[in-house]
A and B are shown apart, each in its own frame.
Chain A
Amino acid sequence: MEVQKEAQRIMTLSVWKMYNSRLQRGGLRLHRSLQLSLVMRSAREVYLSAKLEEDEEGRLGPQPGPAEEGAGQTPSGDLPPATPAPGAGRQPARGGSLPPPGKASRKRRSSSLDKPGAAEAGLVPTKKARLEAEEEEGERQPQGQDGPFPSLAKVLQTRFSGMLRGGPAKGPEPTPGCRPGDGVLSILVRAVVAF
């Protein structure tokens, strides 16, 4: 559990760093982006395997999709967040699924309601139209390869949308100074292809 929390914290921190690196002078640095994505991937693997163990101890059911769609407006940021596929709030069919940090996608589950930040993190964006628009801009590369970037983009799309939309973290994130980046996902997708 601790391992899972730590992995989650590191993933969140990495996303925030990636977002911030975009803002620094000189622009994105390829080496730094690569390093951040490597840490992300390690943390994600640890998180997933820890989650798998937890799941085996008896999971709660899949997420209700519709309740979590649509409501979130991005608090700020010039870039529209590239949102996940609709119903991302639902637990995907494949194993080792991962709720957004803060375990807040389980909005309807009583076990999650007492966790702080559950409500706002449940605002999972599902603006599929927006996602498609970004694809049409030609910024998305075909997924499926095994390099660090596609897994990062995938992870962010399916796992962190709630965190990204949640605004300033009032959730249980213990990381000091770790804020979810608004519109991070689209930035990251663009970051990958910018080079």
Chain B
Amino acid sequence: HLTVILTASDIISTVEFNHTGELLATGDKGGRVVIFQREQESKNQPHRRGEYNVYSTFQSHEPEFDYLKSLEIEEKINKIRWLPQQNAAYFLLSTNDKTVKLWKVSERDKRPEGYNLKDEDGRLRDPSMITMLRVPVLRPMDLMVEATPRRVFANAHTYHINSISVNSDYETYMSADDLRINLWNFEITNQSFNIVDIKPANMEELTEVITAAEFHPHHCNTFVYSSSKGTIRLCDMRASALCDRHSKFFEEPEDPSNRSFFSEIISSISDVKFSHSGRYIMTRDYLTVKVWDLNMENRPIETYQVHDYLRSKLCSLYENDCIFDKFECVWNGSDSVIMTGSYNNFFRMFDRNTKRDVTLEASRENSKPRAILKPRKVCVGGKRRKDEISVDSLDFSKKILHTAWHPSENIIAVAATNNLYIFQDKVN
């Protein structure tokens, strides 16, 4: 059930829990990052256990202008990825179309007082007035959370960055654009290694682009990237410096009965995610979510229909540009349930074990705090039952592209345009 709705001032463009689930970061179209922190459990207020509140807000990226190409570079945050916590501070990567930044988020709850050369306001003291030395002491102050940019990784991408992924070695990460993937070391900002380059010598021969990329959760030499043609390539960085030859190639043969003007474009993969176990990958294309076993390349092991009733509406969806929407998908902590978004503020969950699925709605009307979400159903034809909604009544401007699942608990964050919904499963 719902615990929190937060309204951002701008359209949310990415949502990500950190590795413990204590923090939830959102990025928006205006280049801002907002981090929420889960309240500690306290005996005094048990009903507020586990609520997320704003922890830090900062402007990550600003609009820029590429003078050479006379193009504006949007400040929209495309992706945020957390680094695992190694000390008291939190680190995250945020990226727009061209530049990746490493941010340090740290708390300050003590302040040194008793400087010798300056007074409490910071003004310099007259040295001739100082008659004795003292050692400054740390005194408590109101908690301040500050975000500072520690690294800026710029000028490495000609095309638009669509993915970033932190390696399990915690020393490197990759950034992927339409045609190239670069490998970075966190400490080095003026160089990166190009590990994938699919740009053809003649651009007129271009037939596919990279749409998403991710490192394997445990094997630091392995990563996957998906393409606009609906294929996934798994690469091993030990094989060669430039991973243009894949180790594995995942592709499902096309179903000829489904051919239309738009078959090619709806097979484009919008998101690829490794399972937590590292054994499976999940891909999202326009109408389906697929789970692939890394050991089987010729077809997915599971295919889930997200909103197959849209298959007959592809032409209208092309007209209103919805067919280009890039939905993401997520695993739950145990890899037993997968979740993805749809239209009309609906999002779908599929239980891989029971094969049951549910459609839920993220809307203010239906969501009161601690109310239980009611499953929704889309009526595909014939008689519409009460509580069902017909395909033609769906609001295509209300799309859920970004969702996140807590790494270990049943807490999900759902971004519906500029509203963030956090749902928790409380078993009392």
Contacts and interface: CB of A to CB of B under 8 A. Distances in A.
B159 A195 contact: yes
Contacts, number: 87
Contacts of A13: 318-319
Contacts of A175: 319
B228 A35 contact: yes
Interface of B: 69, 71-74, 97, 158-160, 178-179, 200, 202-209, 211, 228, 260-265, 268, 315, 318-319, 321, 324
A145 B200 CA distance: 12
A39 interface: yes
A166 B192 CA distance: 49
A50 to B, nearest CB: 13
A34 B264 CA distance: 11
Contacts of A46: 261
Nearest to A146: B205
Given A31-B209, A175-B319, A192-B204, A26 B97 contact: yes
A80 interface: no
Q: For the complex of A and B, list the 10 residue pairs with the smallest distance between their C-beta atoms, beginning with the closest.
A: A27-B71, A147-B205, A26-B74, A30-B178, A35-B265, A42-B261, A149-B204, A147-B204, A38-B264, A31-B209
Given A10-B315, A145-B204, A194-B69, 14 more contacts: A13-B318, A13-B319, A26-B160, A27-B72, A31-B228, A34-B206, A38-B265, A39-B265, A46-B261, A147-B200, A147-B202, A148-B207, A149-B203, A149-B206
Nearest to B71: A27
A25 to B, nearest CB: 5
A194 B74 CA distance: 18
B323 to A, nearest CB: 8
15 contacts: A7-B261, A26-B72, A26-B74, A30-B159, A30-B209, A31-B178, A34-B208, A35-B268, A39-B261, A42-B264, A146-B205, A147-B200, A147-B202, A147-B204, A195-B158
Given A35-B268, A195-B203, A30 B179 contact: yes
Given A30-B178, A39-B318, A147 B206 contact: yes
A170 interface: no
Given A30-B159, A39-B262, A147-B205, A25 B74 contact: yes
B261 A34 contact: no
A6 B315 CA distance: 10
A34 B228 contact: yes
A109 interface: no
B228 A141 contact: no
A39 B265 CA distance: 8
A148 B209 contact: no
Contacts of B262: 39, 42
Nearest to A41: B264
B200 to A, nearest CB: 8
Q: Which of A6, A13, A38, A176 has the most CB of B within 10 A?
A: A38
Contacts of A115: none
Contact of A35 (B71, B73, B324): B324
Contacts of B73: 26
A27 B73 CA distance: 8
A121 interface: no
A10 B160 contact: no
A43 B262 CA distance: 9
B169 to A, nearest CB: 30
A130 interface: no
Contacts of A31: 160, 178, 209, 211, 228, 268
Given A13-B319, A195-B159, A150 B265 contact: no
A149 B186 CA distance: 38
B204 A32 contact: no
A29 B160 contact: yes
Contacts of A25: 72, 74
Contacts of B315: 6, 10
Interface in A1-36: 6-7, 10, 13, 17, 25-27, 29-32, 34-35
A41 B179 CA distance: 22
Contacts of B319: 13, 175-177
Nearest to B179: A30
B204 A150 contact: yes
A79 interface: no
A193 interface: yes
Contact of B205 (A17, A35, A145, A194): A145
Contacts of A148: 206-207
B202 A141 contact: yes
Contacts of A17: 321
A39 to B, nearest CB: 6
Interface in A105-146: 141, 145-146
B145 to A, nearest CB: 31
A131 to B, nearest CB: 18
Contacts of A195: 158-159, 203
A38 B208 CA distance: 10
A2 to B, nearest CB: 13
A20 B264 CA distance: 21
A121 B268 CA distance: 36
A195 B157 CA distance: 12
Contact of B203 (A6, A7, A10, A192): A192
B126 to A, nearest CB: 54
A30 B205 CA distance: 13
